[in-house]
Structure 1
Amino acid sequence: MINLSILHQDPLCVVVNKPAGMLVHRSFLDKHETIFLMQTLRDQIGQHVYPVHRLDRPTAGVMLFALNPEAARYFAQQFETHSVQKYYHAIVRGWTDDSGCIDYPLKEQLDDIADKFAERDKAAQAAITEYRTLARTELPFVSHTKFPTSRYSLLQLTPHTGRKHQIRRHLKHIFHPIIGDTTHGDLKQNKAVQNFLGNTRLLLHASALRFRLPEMGVWIEVCAPFDDEWQSVARAMGLSM
């Protein structure tokens, strides 16, 4: 039985540290999965929960649930108006600049099954992600035949919009894809890191959320610690957290 790490709980919401690889809710896109974050959390705290934002299945970290429909509408509106501050960490290919702002509109990504009735020719939507480089490393193994070593960076990221797979797509756009990203990443890099370090996961972590509570408009910031697997990979790569 999975025991989720609860980071914050009050009468209106609960915040958990989502494990990497866990689906948030049941989906016909993966009919064979039997464990879901919503159901696990509901059973753990003994009441219904309402998701108000999303995290990709392979992404770990902080996730907010409302505890009643009215609170769900309140928190969802904060995400829709980009009032919530979100912070992520990622390990990416190459050495990034000290800091930067990726301002690159993104076309909505549609699933052939789930979005079969959605409009297909919508214009690209504004998407902005800021990043700061926290550490860099160079490791003595070959991931591309041109270079005898491989370089990586640890980033802190702040998305100012909430497009689907925004961080993953933005980092691909600047040629620094996230390690372990099988959709938007560098498959040769992923394979090299797997062979050298044993990593098979997406190295993207939702580190913190800052949002407003209804009572008197009080702000709260909730942080999610890195799990043991993430910390082990980061140490092995020489990236101090």
Structure 2
Amino acid sequence: MTSPLPVRDGVGATRLHVPLSGRWPTIGAYMAERFFHLDPERLLGRFDRGEIVARDGSALSRHTPLGAHEFVWYYREPPVERDIPFEIEVLHQDRDLVVADKPHFLPTTPGGKYLQNSALVRLRNRLGIPELTPIHRLDRATAGLLMFSVRPQTRGAYQLLFERRQVEKVYEAVSALPEGWDPAAPALARRAFPVVFRNHIEKLRGHVCVRTDPEREPNSETLIELIGSDERVLHTLLRPHSGRMHQLRVHLAALGAGILHDGFYPELLPEAPDDFTRPLQLLARELHFTDPLSGAARAFRTRRTLAYAPSGA
């Protein structure tokens, strides 16, 4: 559904579904109850200023009755954001694709307390492309390669590559040296390298961590190869064959090699402000695919490195 409002400062308007019937006399009353954490008069003032619009772009008033419109659009009021002091780098740009190198801590898209401090908004503003859209995502904590679509006309062709698992993704990770590590016979949980690990991962609504279920058929798989180690850490190459939420973090933690500075796995730690000196040691290193438009083989590699990797890796 096309928004009647243009992208503003790199951020698209928010669409809200409004019930066509209910106990609320007006759309404003419904929104005041839905967004109960906001001052109701401040919210209704946005109607007075013409900031909440219908599908045709016409402004609603605070007296617009419930049932008059099923969807409304508005711009989110920007939060007070903590600046993320790392730049996103553009590695490739053509008429259809932008490939960027995302730093740790920067979310892929706006959400929660991050709007301007997101990869999408920064790139829209820098490149002047309001239609720019991510084709896939990385966790905020993960650094590395991100692909964006430039034109709506060709976006679906690239999205299908990810849906059909036709993009080869390669990651690096640095973990604390597992207990009992023997460099002469390297193994994880008694499995010699390369290790193929599978399990069933499920995302539960309202939970920040995923759950694993050993009784269910595996729905995630990762090939784990050894890059190197020293007396402190283990450096691995990860080739996911599926794309479950937090998959790489969960798999390494299950093998006794949880990624350095992971506040979720193997143990959920109390929420704390970002410590920019301790980024999660996970990096989206490479993307390989056959271009669906030209048929050419394409390959991209990050310019970033993991700060805690063994020297010389």
Question: Shorter-chain TM-score: which interval?
Answer: 0.7 to 0.9
Is the 1:26–1:36 Cα contact (8 Å) retained in structure 2? yes
Report what 1:31 is aligned to.
113
Identity %: 26
TM-score if structure 2 supplies the norm length?
Answer: 0.60
Select the structure of larger CA radius of gyration.
2
Letter in 2 for 1:101: V
Distance 1:100 1:167 in 2: 13
Is the 2:222–2:241 Cα contact (8 Å) retained in structure 1? yes
Q: CA deviation at 1:7?
A: 1.1
Distance 1:71 1:239 in 2: 42
What aligned pairs does 1:103-182 form with structure 2 within 5 A after superposition?
Answer: 103-107=198-202, 109-112=203-206, 126-139=219-232, 152-182=233-263
Distance 2:268 2:162 in 1: 32
Distance 1:2 1:137 in 2: 28
Distance 2:268 2:226 in 1: 23
Report what 2:312 is aligned to.
240
- The number of aligned residues is 204
Is the 1:2–1:40 Cα contact (8 Å) retained in structure 2? no
| 1:51-79 C-alpha deviation (Å, 9 max, x unpaired) | 11110001000000011223221111111
- Structure with greater helix percent: 1
Distance 2:290 2:217 in 1: 29
Report what 1:45 is aligned to.
127
Q: CA deviation at 1:156?
A: 0.6
Letter in 1 for 2:304: F
Distance 1:199 1:2 in 2: 12
Change (3 A) 1:184 1:124: farther
Does residue 57 (structure 1) correspond to residue 57 (structure 2)? The answer is no
Does residue 6 (structure 1) correspond to residue 100 (structure 2)? The answer is no
Any runs of at least 4 consecutive aligned residues in structure 1 with deviations exceeding 3 A, and if so which? 185-188
Distance 2:136 2:160 in 1: 10
Distance 1:165 1:211 in 2: 22
TM-score if structure 1 supplies the norm length?
Answer: 0.76
Distance 2:115 2:137 in 1: 18
Equivalent of residue 100 in structure 1, options 195, 204, 207: 195
Distance 2:102 2:259 in 1: 19
Report what 2:289 is aligned to.
211
RMSD: 2.6
Task: Report which structure shows greater RCO (CA 8 Å, sep ≥6).
Answer: 1
Letter in 2 for 1:9: Q
